[in-house]
Amino acid sequence: MTSEPGQGVTYFSRLDADECWALLAEAEVGRLAWHGANGIVVVPVNFRVSDSRVVFQTAEGSSLSRLAEPTEVAFEVDDIDGEAIIGWSVLVQGTTARVEADEDKPISWLDGERSVWIAVSPGAISGRVMSGTKRS
């Protein structure tokens, strides 16, 4: 907890791994970051949680399809209410790998063929909830 005169109180509380996975299971879109050929890349992906992994699908030949080869990534999801100044954030750090398709349950919102399924297996997961007061 931090407080400055006239600034209100801000609370940060760490989430345990089970709380993080529960929040991820309810979310649909996150941001995937990795070091690409031309530097750091960050893209939004829609996903789901399966067997304690983050799973998404992409098109063959896309920049995301290169992550079928093991790659260290960071995956973040958050839900922040800017008016109420409350929210949460979860960060998964791990390695990608191609996984078998789950054809009965497509993930991608995009039109077109999305035949490459990729999972992020976590090396670490962390999260926090926060609330505060807007500065005037």
Give, for 66, the enclosing helix (H) or strand (E).
none
pLDDT at 108: 63
Per-residue pLDDT at 91 exceeds 70 = yes
DSSP H helices, the chain, are: 17-26
CATH architecture of the region 11-130? Roll (2.30)
CA-wise closest residue to 51 among 73, 25, 80, 75: 25
Whether the pTM exceeds 0.85: the reply is no
Where along the chain do its domains lie? 11-130
Residues 51-62: tens digit of each pLDDT: 999 999 998 888
Chain mean pLDDT for the chain: 86
